[in-house]
Chains A and B, each alone.
Chain A
Amino acid sequence: MTEGFMTKGIVTKGFVTKTLRSRLKAGAAVVVIGAQLAVTSGPASAFCGFYVAKADAKMFNKSSKVVLARIGQQTAITMASDYEGKPSEFALVVPVPSFIQKSQISVVDTKTVDHLDAFTAPRLVEYYDPNPCEQNYPVLAFDIAPTARLGAVPAPPSQHAYPGVKVEARYDVAEYEISILSAEQSDGLIRWLTDNGYKIPAGAEPVIGSYIKQKMHFFVAKVNIKRFDALGRAYLRPLQVRYETNKFMLPLRLGTVNANGPQDLTVYALTRRGRVEATNYRTVKVPSDINVPLFVAHDFPNVYKALFDHAVARQNMHGVFVEYAWDMGWCDPCAAPPLRQAELAELGWGSGPGANPAGNSSALSGSSDAFVTRLHVRYDAQSFPEDLNFIETGDRENFQARYILNHPYAGAASCADGKRYEAALPERYRREADNLAGLTGWSSQSIAARMAAAGQPIAGAK
């Protein structure tokens, strides 16, 4: 480690954490920021519900994001996905624990979910070694801005009675047409869905049957193209449903039915007491606080993707990974500024089932006490046969997925200490290379080659 050379301080795009300002003034050298990740580059995915396409359009989902805000039994679930098909072919089927009123549904600004995603994203932090011969260091900063993703797209209409199927309600919410269904038998429901333009994958029937027996309702959404066009948006916005339930879980199973390989799901849990973990799968931390070679700065999304793939493989794809667990009030370093109260309210924090988070700030019951846990799951039907069940722990210990770049001093260091410092660098680079190889499973040669190209020759390497 090279701690001795580092002084901390963090700068992010237009944002400097309070606690760090003083350190920066004191002469810190540093920098950086989060990046956006893995999630965006994973294979096909769906989520707690599933997307179904009308006609024979190919179902295509990459990854999904679910914000799960929960206080007591009050739950708000906000669902966003990288749906990239036509809006007219988007459809969503999600089991919900009870009947849902219109006032319990809203549309959330994509930016808000993206903000939470950026705030909790795995991050790269840079440190600059000071001149080993002096005590003054430069202050530098740069920013790898998170990229945002979103998406979804709609399907067609519906009508009529089917044995045992009850259309409990129909709502128009922003660009979506939503139906709340209850059913006694899965075949009736599947017929209803099929006849209404939802293309249900073959294996869905037993899963739907299981939810029906568990007395779940079905929240079914598609896009009203006229309204979507009138709104003039490029993407479908995340949908939010709020309800009261003793079930602290996410229904994953429907999402595995039409899956084309494993899928990625990122859950952002907002709770009051502390960290959230899975009760029926092992919750593990992604490796963190590790020094990596400098070239990672230019390839962080790929590095993190490889790192995550590697971590998943080590757990035989049975793990639920914590990427971030932190009090929402602050961060260090901040990959993005903490969310404002209005944003947290929009995500359902502190609002009851009937509250209107967009307009009614009085529904807030305090946002600064929110604790966010970011869980990243790669799942398929085989590795995750059961829905994800959660428990809220009292653990408020902070954790973040953080990787460290340590820039060597770039100037001439001609003093004796400077010579020693320079002589030690190749060994330090070798350790960074080893770290990266261990994290990603990449070969040492390829890492060494990339490092050499980036001006970090490794000890012992040619």
Chain B
Amino acid sequence: MRTLWSDARHFQIAALSSLLLINFFSIDFGAKPLYSVLAIAAALLTQIFCTLISGSRRIDLRSALVTGLSLSLLLRADAAWLPALAGVVAIASKFILRIDGRHIFNPAGFAIVLLLSLSSGVWISPGQWGTSLWLATLLVFLALLVLQAAQRSDIALFFLGAHGALLLARASWLGDPLAIPLHQMQSGSLLIFAFFMISDPKTTPDSRVARLFSAVTIATLGHYLAFFMQMRPALYVALIALCPLTALLNRLIPAKKFAWTPTIQGASS
């Protein structure tokens, strides 16, 4: 057991798979099994292909599986090739777009933003999880498991804190009742973003202070895009736009580089 849970991705895979099952069975207009299979298969195959070309002999599919699952949960499409393309784009971006020996963009987030900007056949469905409390609780529960395993997922909490503070500030400025920011915070999609996307340890800064800075910046940009630009995928766009900041922050505030497991350095990209 100990070895099994020593890698945070195992938690992530279990959590994301559970969410995907809920999505299949209880959400209208939710994920389509075939599309999910295609997104995941494309991500895995691209990972294998890119690993082989890059000359590495150690193929690790766990990160790619996390990416494929994330895409399945977050991206909707009207044609089967689109989720497959998303899987390819996501993983290829890890191998191609790199600075200082690590990838720049959150792979799933990058694919989502790129496809949303290029194709009218894809969309996101941020309202799909509703605000059901039990689901929120479940998400938090699953996410906490992930947090415990990947110590630096504190960025998820920083982000939720910053996002919540901004929503509260906005409500207070507008004179809106507290019910409005609370409703906005209860979004299941927001929790998925916070716990499974922004907290991807490979694309978050190494030092805690930098992670706090990064989280606040993403929340602020996301807030601007959502409320002033009326952009629906505001958080994804904010995240991807600010991913390059991570490399800069790592240079300015160096700290120990992340590895999925303490013993296997750089097990996967």
CA distance A247 to B184 in the complex (A): 17
Q: Which stretch in B84-92, B118-126, B242-250 binds the other chain?
A: B118-126
Interface residue count for A (Cβ, 8 Å)?
A: 36
Among A210, A275, A279, A382, the residue within 8 A (CB) of B175 is A210
CA distance A4 to B249 in the complex (A): 67
Q: Find the B residue at minimum CB distance from A396.
A: B78
Q: Which stretch in B46-54, B60-68, B128-136, B150-158 binds the other chain?
A: B128-136
Q: Does B180 contact A (CB under 8 A)?
A: yes
Q: How many residue-residue contacts, CB under 8 A, span A and B?
A: 91
Q: Does A323 contact B (CB under 8 A)?
A: no
Residues of A within 8 A of B78 (CB): 274, 394-396
B103-146 interface code vs A (CB 8 A; 1 in, 0 out): 00000000000000001111111111111100000000000000
Q: Does B177 contact A (CB under 8 A)?
A: yes
Q: Are B127 and A206 in contact (CB under 8 A)?
A: no
Query: What distance in Å separates the Cβ of A162 from its nearest Cβ neighbour in chain B?
Result: 19
Query: What distance in Å separates the Cβ of A61 from its nearest Cβ neighbour in chain B?
Result: 22
Residues of B within 8 A of A210 (CB): 174-176
Q: Does A318 contact B (CB under 8 A)?
A: yes
Using a CB-CB cutoff of 8 Å, which residues 227-253 of chain B contact chain A?
Answer: 229-230, 232
Q: Does B100 contact A (CB under 8 A)?
A: no
Residues A277 and B127 in contact in the complex (CB < 8 Å), given A382-B179, A386-B184, A395-B76: yes
Residues of A within 8 A of B69 (CB): none
Q: Does B198 contact A (CB under 8 A)?
A: no
CA distance A280 to B132 in the complex (A): 12
CA distance A281 to B29 in the complex (A): 13
Using a CB-CB cutoff of 8 Å, which residues 279-324 of chain A contact chain B?
Answer: 279-285, 315-316, 318-320, 322
Query: What distance in Å separates the Cβ of B229 from its nearest Cβ neighbour in chain A?
Result: 7
CA distance A176 to B129 in the complex (A): 42
Query: What distance in Å separates the Cβ of B185 from its nearest Cβ neighbour in chain A?
Result: 11
Residues of B within 8 A of A214 (CB): 174
Among A285, A322, A386, the residue within 8 A (CB) of B183 is A386
Contact-size category for B: 20 to 34
Residues of A within 8 A of B77 (CB): 394
Q: Does A157 contact B (CB under 8 A)?
A: no
A319-345 interface code vs B (CB 8 A; 1 in, 0 out): 110100000000000000000000000
Q: Does A273 contact B (CB under 8 A)?
A: yes
Q: Does A278 contact B (CB under 8 A)?
A: yes
CA distance A316 to B133 in the complex (A): 11
Q: Are A318 and B126 in contact (CB under 8 A)?
A: no
Give the residue among A213, A247, A248 with the most B Cβ atoms within 10 A.
Answer: A213
A183-215 interface code vs B (CB 8 A; 1 in, 0 out): 000000000000000000000001001100110
Inter-chain pairs besides A391-B124, A395-B76, 12 sampled, C-beta below 8 Å: A213-B174, A246-B229, A275-B29, A277-B29, A277-B127, A279-B126, A279-B127, A281-B127, A282-B130, A283-B128, A385-B180, A396-B78
* 24 A-B interface contacts by CB (under 8 A): A206-B176, A209-B174, A209-B175, A210-B174, A277-B127, A278-B127, A280-B127, A280-B184, A281-B130, A281-B131, A282-B131, A318-B131, A319-B130, A322-B28, A385-B179, A385-B182, A386-B180, A386-B183, A393-B76, A393-B123, A394-B78, A394-B119, A395-B78, A396-B78
